[in-house]
Amino acid sequence: MTFKTLDDVSDLNGKTALVRVDFNVPVENGRITDDTRLKVALPTIKKLLDKGATVALLAHFDRPKGKVVPEMSLGFVAPALSALLGQDVAFAGSLDQRYAGPARVVLYENVRFHPGEEKNDAGFARQLAALGDIYVNDAFSAAHRAHASTEGVAHLIPAYAGESMRRELTALDAALGNPQRPTLGIVGGSKVSTKLDLLKNLVSKLDYLAIGGGMANTFLFAQGYDVGGSLCEKDLKDTALEIMAAASEADCRLLLPLDVVVAQEFKANAANRTEDIGSPLTDADKIFDAGPRTVDELCKIMAGAKTLIWNGPLGVFELPPFDAATVAAAKFAAEQTRSGKLVAVAGGGDTVAALNHAGVTDDMTFVSTAGGAFLEWMEGKVLPGVAALEA
């Protein structure tokens, strides 16, 4: 897809850029515990300031459901953003009129305080459009929502992708839209049922697809293997077989575990053993990770791949030693990426946590923090906030 970026805008002196950002930050006792989402917005804000614009920021926080909830006000974000930006950030408690104060950056109140936001109400979209001369969407993580501030306003004033949005779309296009081949996907997680659309879309686009985590147990069970007392959606046996058939038809090779790490207790450093697939298991035996043979095969495929897209861990990475497969695969992916042999794009909450745990997040080509939007993009769905930016 083609979309306008801030490079397509020249002189913004005397104009206001209305920027949709994602400031839905984690907070404890009134303090921001992770300011990553604020930092992600800085390149766009600085670029617009350099072009002479006043920057008006739109964001949501939590789920007030169209009502004013004082404890969900965005007021606390302005000073934190000001400290990161190194200049004053004003806070406007109302979305009724343009900010007319001296600050060149203003953060408006939580857009979700208004019932028209999540309904994508045309009147509310016009109200928002009146706050700026151009619209910039820099919140990919909210782009799967057709809300007034993510989709509606983009049709009313000239619309552009912000720097973070541009990086996200460029990376995802490199991973799925127009990738270098061979392509490898790694999909993990606990349940097949939560990633059916994803799996069906990926087998039609990738050369290899590795399935890990609890969802791999469902595929093993569908093939007749013993999974003991492991997490397994046995009622999805036919679905798993259909996905395997679709992969075969699309010439996508599915990579399922060759061996597994089994334990009888779900706790850190529990007594465990490695078993080949097909070994008899008791009802007390539970599969918590992929085994070393599986990782070796995965890394062998990865060594010949040009593009990797990763969503979900290979095992219960939160508990050692069941993090071994995920960490080993992540470190190998990072090594391949650093050496320029692999374009590695990853995303989703558990994935980001797993890569952070392995200490390789910064080595990947791109890591998306957008959970739902990243997943829907990989499922092949149209994201309203992105479609509205198409040139």
Is 181 tagged catalytic? Answer: no
Is the separation of the CB atoms in 370 and 131 below 8 Å?
no
In this structure, are residues 251 and 245 in contact, taking their beta carbons and an 8 Å threshold?
Answer: no
Write down the catalytic residue from 37, 47, 104, 166: 37
Pairing, β 105-108 against β 54-58: parallel
Q: Residue 273, annotated ligand binder?
A: no
Whether the Cβ atoms of residue 350 and residue 357 lie closer than 8 Å to each other: no
Residue found by looking up tokens 């080949």 in the block: 276
Q: Which of 333, 338, 337 is nearest to 351 (CA)?
A: 333
H/E stretch holding 75: none
User: 22: annotated binding-site residue?
Assistant: yes
33 is in an annotated binding site: no
Judge whether 318 is annotated as a binding position: yes
Question: Catalytic: 304?
Answer: no
Q: Tokens in use for 15?
A: 């104009």
Three-state DSSP class for residue 322: coil
Is residue 88 part of an annotated ligand binding site?
no
Cβ proximity of 107 and 131 under 8 Å: no
Per the listing, tokens 């070994």 go with 279
CA distance 188 to 215: 7
Is 60 assigned a ligand-binding role in the annotation?
A: yes
Torsion sign (Cα): 361, 363, 369, 372: negative
Radius of gyration of the chain measured on its C-alpha atoms:
23
63 is in an annotated binding site: yes
**Would the annotation count 288 as a binding residue?**
no
DSSP string, 104-145: SEEEE--GGGSHHHHTT-HHHHHHHHTT-SEEEE--GGGTTS
Is residue 237 annotated as a catalytic residue, yes or no?
no
267 is catalytic: no
| 61 is known to lie in a ligand binding site | yes
Write down the catalytic residue from 51, 126, 191, 253. Answer: 191
Residue 188 marked ligand-binding: no
Q: Is 62 one of the annotated binding-site residues?
A: yes
- The annotation status of 351 as a binding-site residue, yes or no, is yes
From the candidates 75, 229, 349, 371, give the one annotated as an active-site residue: 349
Q: Are 18 and 128 in contact (CB under 8 A)?
A: yes
Annotated catalytic residue within 119, 372, 380, 381: 372
Ligand-binding annotation for 132, yes or no, is: no
Dihedral, CA of residue 55, residue 50, residue 174 and residue 350, to nearest 10: -50
Q: Is 335 annotated as a binding residue?
A: no
31 among annotated binding-site residues: no
Residues belonging to the active site: 37, 191, 349, 372
Give the residue ranges of the annotated binding site for substrate: 22-24, 37, 60-63, 112, 145
Give the residue ranges of the annotated binding site for (2R)-3-phosphoglycerate: 37, 112, 145
Give the residue ranges of the annotated binding site: 22-24, 37, 60-63, 112, 145, 195, 318, 348-351
